[in-house]
Structure 1
Amino acid sequence: MKDTFNREINYLRVSVTDRCDLRCVYCMKENMNFLPKSEILSSEEINSICSTFIELGVKKIRITGGEPLIKKGMPNILEYLGKKLKKTNLEELTITTNGTQLYKFAELIKKNGVKRINVSLDSLDPTKYLKITRGGNLEQVLEGLNIAKKIGLKIKINTVALKNTNINEIDKLVEWCANKEFDITFIEVMPMDMENSMRLKQYYPLTKVKSFLEKRYTLINTNINTGGPSRYVKIKNSNIKIGFITPLSNNFCESCNRVRLTCTGKIYSCLGHDKFIDLKKALLKNKKELKNLILKSILLKPKSHEFEINKTNKNKNLERTMNVTGG
């Protein structure tokens, strides 16, 4: 599938639920009102949509949330897509998780063909982690990471850079990942579903993070492409990669190859735009209708997103949340 800017679209990110067992300060409100369960796609509906995307040329699927590992139908989804890895053109199945349930699910994940996972971790300080996640247990996450590593899952840590919160841990996080043989990607905050002033308080440009790391390490630029938005460097004399996802300070739109399926069945061809195509009703019709709507959604993909951190507070703020859209 190609969009109107001749970009090959072969990567689908799937939010399987809006529910999460954490309330991270950059993702959702503390007293979050989740969607009625009747509005959430079932595992069977998710499988049907994913299957159609695979038929249309998608080669990589990433399962996200919310927290995907708390969805009751998650084993069914993993088993179904795991079989697609063996029988179709699907080349990779990956998961992004907050890690709280990893100690339970690592074996199941590995069994169904997942080779690498992304785990969100913004602090190695238990008190700070508790504050950022509004209730998370760091030790539980670390236990899950150790189990996942032991059984052979490749792990990448995702860290959101938060001004006045975890910036002083950048060096510690990199050293810890190097010792664990985990890759790490730093991410700028996404201006979604909160007043722009809130995001402005949290925003810390990754140009500063990279500059800090360059003073501490010898960084080597790479051409590594994992199919996502990260730009990677390597530390000299180390095997770990450090990635930077910079939607605000240096966007990656020119090479964007992905679309997002929300947990309610909407396809967003761009994280930073409000236009979407609703696939849920098409599930009640036939596969031809579903395919036509998917192809239509690809043609809606804009040249670039509209994310902006604006000190005047005049820019448009996207009202949907990351947990519904997919992190």
Structure 2
Amino acid sequence: MDPTSSGSKAEPSAALVDTFGRTITYLRVSVTDRCDLRCVYCMSEQMSFLPKRDLLSLDELDRLCSAFVRRGIRKIRLTGGEPLVRRNVMDLFRKLSRHLESGALTELTLTTNGTQLAKHACELAALGVRRVNVSLDSLDEDRYRQITRWGDLKATLKGLDEAQAAGLSVKLNVVALRGVNEDELEDLLLFAHRRNADMTLIESMPMGDIGVHRADQYLPLSIVRARLMSRFTFDEDDFSTGGPARYVLVRETGRRLGFITPLTHNFCESCNRVRVSCTGTIYSCLGQDNAFDLRGPLRADPTDRLLQHTIDAAILDKPRGHDFVIDRRLSDPSISRHMNVTGG
């Protein structure tokens, strides 16, 4: 029997609930640590990437995701690095789309920098992807190139156009960077909302050595929010996509603005997420080093029983919250691994 077929798997088990009573329904999976950009808040300019032999195959990623679906995962987000640079990654979307068709998954989505989105938007929509998150930190070509180190703004904007033309709902993700794009955040908000896209602002997270001190980048979103409120009226909104963002409705535009604030406002009490790296390491918390290897159990036992036991152990090890700190007196980041390793 094909070891990736559903008939060879362990029977579905109980829902994933951690020791703090949080039910885990959201899985973020990195399909590659590679990226065609080198954003200054994510990577160093001269990154060393994993040997391709260390990565899970697409069939293994499908099997791993399917094991989580049987445990009550309802939403899967594919991330990277940049997920769309993974060779044949659309095969994985095609495989996982069966869980949308069966109703086991309510959402299959991705986070992308948009550079490859124009090529894949129509197929993503055809496979049941309904929305995408696109990282866009500037509308100025020179500044965009500065932030991404060599990105082409036109390629990302074309990706946005093609995604919306294909019927995908787009949300822009913007990392607020002190002294870099803080003067542009209002323009980005208006750009997004005029395109009928929501936007989420994100604080820079102290993950990995990126060649600069995080304190030089860090811009508290409490400051950004106060600035924006001098122009816009915010109404609190209990809308949620299952992620960590807290939303307001911008009265003047009629669309939503989200805030992801790992430093100024911890969001851990409602965390329903775990992350799996492209090598099969499960991180139960973005801001902690708690980790379990799933690749070994996945390859050692075709029934997935050992895999499910390891998943259980990882969920029970999930901490109450993260320990992100940005302090100029500390030379090392809070978490040594880079965001592209963890899975966005």
Q: TM-score, normalised by structure 2?
A: 0.93
Q: For this pair of structures, how many residues does the alignment match?
A: 327
CA–CA separation in structure 1 for the residues paired with 2:211 and 2:149: 21
1:124 counterpart letter in structure 2:
L
CA–CA separation in structure 1 for the residues paired with 2:127 and 2:231: 39
1:23 counterpart letter in structure 2:
R
2:204 counterpart letter in structure 1:
V
1:41 aligns to 2:66 (yes or no): no
2:174 counterpart letter in structure 1:
T
Matches within 5 A, 1:182-261: 182-194=197-209, 198-261=213-276
Task: Indicate the residue corresponding to 1:296 in structure 2.
Answer: 313
Matches within 5 A, 1:8-157: 8-157=23-172
Summarize deviations over 1:28-80 as a string: whole Å, max 9, x none.
01011100001111111100000000001100000000000011131111001
CA–CA separation in structure 1 for the residues paired with 2:259 and 2:66: 31
Secondary structure at 1:215's aligned position in 2?
coil
Worse overlay, 75-84 or 126-135: 75-84
Shift of 1:87: 1.4
CA–CA separation in structure 2 for the residues paired with 1:223 and 1:24: 31
Summarize deviations over 1:162-198 as a string: whole Å, max 9, x none.
0000000011101111111110000001101127971
Secondary structure at 2:241's aligned position in 1?
coil
1:191 counterpart letter in structure 2:
P
Secondary structure at 1:142's aligned position in 2?
helix
Residues 315 and 103 of structure 1, relative CA distance in 2, 3 Å threshold: closer
Residues 29 and 78, structure 2, Cα contact 8 Å, conserved in 1: yes
Shift of 1:239: 2.8
CA–CA separation in structure 2 for the residues paired with 1:91 and 1:197: 40
Secondary structure at 2:125's aligned position in 1?
helix
Residues 197 and 313, structure 1, Cα contact 8 Å, conserved in 2: no
CA–CA separation in structure 2 for the residues paired with 1:37 and 1:196: 25
Residues 94 and 116, structure 1, Cα contact 8 Å, conserved in 2: yes
1:203 counterpart letter in structure 2:
Y
Task: Indicate the residue corresponding to 2:292 in structure 1.
Answer: 277
CA–CA separation in structure 1 for the residues paired with 2:93 and 2:106: 14
Shift of 1:309: 1.0
Shift of 1:316: 6.1
2:313 counterpart letter in structure 1:
K
Worse overlay, 264-273 or 285-294: 285-294
1:313 counterpart letter in structure 2:
L
- Structure 1's unaligned 5+ residue stretches are none
CA–CA separation in structure 2 for the residues paired with 1:314 and 1:112: 45
Summarize deviations over 1:108-136 as a string: whole Å, max 9, x none.
11111010000000000000000100100
Task: Indicate the residue corresponding to 1:177 in structure 2.
Answer: 192
Shift of 1:275: 1.4
- Structure 2's unaligned 5+ residue stretches are 1-15
CA–CA separation in structure 2 for the residues paired with 1:138 and 1:311: 32
1:67 counterpart letter in structure 2:
E
Identity among equivalent pairs (%): 49
Residues 26 and 292 of structure 1, relative CA distance in 2, 3 Å threshold: same
Secondary structure at 2:230's aligned position in 1?
helix
Residues 263 and 325, structure 2, Cα contact 8 Å, conserved in 1: yes
Summarize deviations over 1:12-39 as a string: whole Å, max 9, x none.
0000000100000000010111000011
Provide the aligned C-alpha RMSD in A.
Answer: 1.3
Residues 177 and 184, structure 1, Cα contact 8 Å, conserved in 2: yes
Residues 196 and 313, structure 1, Cα contact 8 Å, conserved in 2: no
CA–CA separation in structure 1 for the residues paired with 2:130 and 2:249: 21
Task: Indicate the residue corresponding to 1:306 in structure 2.
Answer: 323
